[in-house]
Amino acid sequence: MQYKAFIDEENCIGCGKCIRVCPTDAIVGSKQVLHTILPQFCTSCSNCINTCPTDCITLTTLGVALSEQEELLLTEKKQQRLSRNQLVPPTILFPRSMSTSSATTQKDRKQSIADAIARVKARKNLAN
Ligand code: SF4
Ligand code: SF4
């Protein structure tokens, strides 16, 4: 059975760390908003799981396995894109409706990140 990564939407804080470590560009999302995984490109490498600060990524049994050739091709494409982008600073995309300068928005964002981390901690404490 082929395992695929899956993001628990309730606890994703949109930090973008998972996107940076995914070798096949299987994760999509903008900074500060929910991220999601395209199962057809996921190779179950677990990089994203190990890097997620809120532990909101798990492996599930959805999807079909990529061939080794397809996996290699996607990884090469990502490497090429990263090399091309080395000359320009990384771009952070925000939805048009989301103001990045409003103090209230910043406060709300910090609060929702703190809430998500608190939920994960509470879950971990319950499990112990
Ligand atoms: S498990 Fe690996 S391939 Fe799948 S989404 Fe996470 S980093 Fe990408
Ligand atoms: S690393 Fe976790 S919290 Fe951050 S964007 Fe990815 S899934 Fe969401």
Ligand nearest to the CA of 63: 1
**Mean pLDDT (the chain, rounded):** 76
Q: Cα of 125 to ligand 1 centre, how many Å?
A: 27
CA-angle at 26, arms to 124 and 108, nearest 5°:
50
Q: Cα of 113 to ligand 2 centre, how many Å?
A: 11
pLDDT at 18: 92
Question: Which of 8, 43, 49, 29 is closest to 92 using CA atoms?
Answer: 29
pLDDT at 5: 87
Give the residue numbers spanning the domain of 112: 4-127
Q: Cα of 121 to ligand 1 centre, how many Å?
A: 24
Residue 65 φ then ψ, to 5°: -70, 145
Q: Please write the tens of the pLDDT for every residue from 38-61.
A: 888 888 888 999 999 998 898 876
Provide the CA 8 distance to its chain's centre, in angstroms.
10
Report whether pLDDT(22) > 60.
yes
Report whether pLDDT(118) > 70.
yes
Report whether pLDDT(100) > 80.
no
What is the tally of structural domains in the chain? 1
pLDDT at 51: 92
Q: Looking at residue 90, which CATH number applies to its domain?
A: 3.30.70.20
